[in-house]
Structure 1
Amino acid sequence: MSTTTSRSTAAGPRNPLVGLDLTPFTFTRRCWVDLMPDSVYPLIGDVSLIETWSPSASAVSYEPGGGPWVGAWFSGRNRRDGREWVTRSEVVRADPGSAFAFVVGGAEQGIVRWDWHLYEQGTGSIVQQTWRLLRADPVLGDTPEALHALRDHMANSAEATLLSLAEWIAGSRTR
């Protein structure tokens, strides 16, 4: 599937979102960090560090023998609105120094894709994070309004994560 193509949800008797256009269910956030892309990439590729910055993810780790390469799987806990659940994700892009991406649920049947892109700027990097709904699944919400609320929540979480990452990098450089 092309990264610019939007899938609609699969038909099924239990899915009230059949035929929903998924185009609006995406966002991109970015921030500048005081570290070059080659040094930022290992932080992002080490998924266990995400809980250091993310307000909604914890206990993230690769499966035994896994790592930041295409085809590796990892799991982690997520929090939202007083609920907590575990997801399993597959790395679908791993380009050291420039890009890292994973799909929640796996490349074949995933429901959400997260992309990280790194761009050199001055003495540091622009870190860009994109979230995209691949498939409407009632587990994420059973109305368009619920999916919009999820997207907005995830956008706020991504902003907080990026700002926390930038602050963490700045703090680690001054120690």
Structure 2
Amino acid sequence: MTATCPDPRNPLAGIDLAPFAFTRRCWVDATPDSVYDLISDVSLIETWSPSAGGVSYAPGDGPWAGARFSGRNRRDGREWVTHSEVVRADPGTAFAFVVGGADDGIVRWDWRFHEQGRGSIVQQSWRLLRADPILGDTLQDVHSLRDHMADSAESTLLALAEWIADRRTPAGHRTRTRTR
């Protein structure tokens, strides 16, 4: 019987990734098409997210599958740049991207939009696709990252709902924000 040694370059190789996912939901006072327009304009994410900023599409890219964008992330006093690829862009329905790119990504973010009453349920999901040393050296590091991202998603959804509510016209008509 031979014992295998953990890979010193990736001590988390082989971990069960199932626990490293979450979904959060929030109702917003806007149509699914309007919310899609906001979310798919990745430059707006810093308007609501406490941990992302400086996000922009690569020159010539936009909200379609295969488009690439980059942005800064913040956590625990640190800041770093990520590069992502849009993997789903269904106007009014869903928008998804993979941090690191579709072929070798680390994390997938999914946004889904469902009509409910006069507004929409906005669902934001996060899923770890593979363990990578950049995420930390221990299982606790990865759990901490997931918890941080879940808190960030909740804050983002609440800020999005408030931002939309603040932009309603006084007569009760919703403004449709077109960002393309």
What TM-score, normalized by structure 1, do the two folds share?
0.92
1:169 aligned residue? 164
2:175 aligned residue? none
- Unaligned stretches of 5+ in structure 2? 1-5, 171-180
Deviation at 1:132, TM superposition (A): 0.3
1:147 aligned residue? 142
> Identity rate of aligned residues, in percent?
78
Which of the numbers 51, 55, 58 marks the counterpart of 2:46? Answer: 51
Cα-Cα RMSD: 1.0
**2: CA distance, partners of 1:54 / 1:68:** 19
CA distances 1:52-96 after superposition (whole Å, capped 9, x unpaired): 000000000000000000000000000000000000000000000
1:64 aligned residue? 59
Which of the numbers 151, 156, 160 marks the counterpart of 2:155? Answer: 160
* One-letter amino acid of the structure 2 residue matched with residue 71 of structure 1: G
Deviating above 6 A after TM superposition, structure 1's stretches of 4 or more consecutive aligned residues are none
**What is the DSSP-based 3-state SS (H/G/I as helix, E as strand, rest coil) of the residue aligned with 2:110?**
strand
- Unaligned stretches of 5+ in structure 1? 1-10
2:24 aligned residue? 29
1:100 aligned residue? 95
Bigger Rg, which one? 2
1:138 aligned residue? 133
2:177 aligned residue? none
**What is the DSSP-based 3-state SS (H/G/I as helix, E as strand, rest coil) of the residue aligned with 1:168?**
helix
What TM-score, normalized by structure 2, do the two folds share?
0.90
**What is the DSSP-based 3-state SS (H/G/I as helix, E as strand, rest coil) of the residue aligned with 1:16?**
coil
1:15 aligned residue? 10
**What is the DSSP-based 3-state SS (H/G/I as helix, E as strand, rest coil) of the residue aligned with 1:118?**
strand
**2: CA distance, partners of 1:46 / 1:134:** 24
CA distances 1:117-170 after superposition (whole Å, capped 9, x unpaired): 000000000000000000111111111111000000000000000000000000
Task: Tell me which moved more, 161-170 or 133-142.
Answer: 133-142
**1: CA distance, partners of 2:13 / 2:62:** 35
**2: CA distance, partners of 1:69 / 1:145:** 35
State how many pairs are aligned: 165
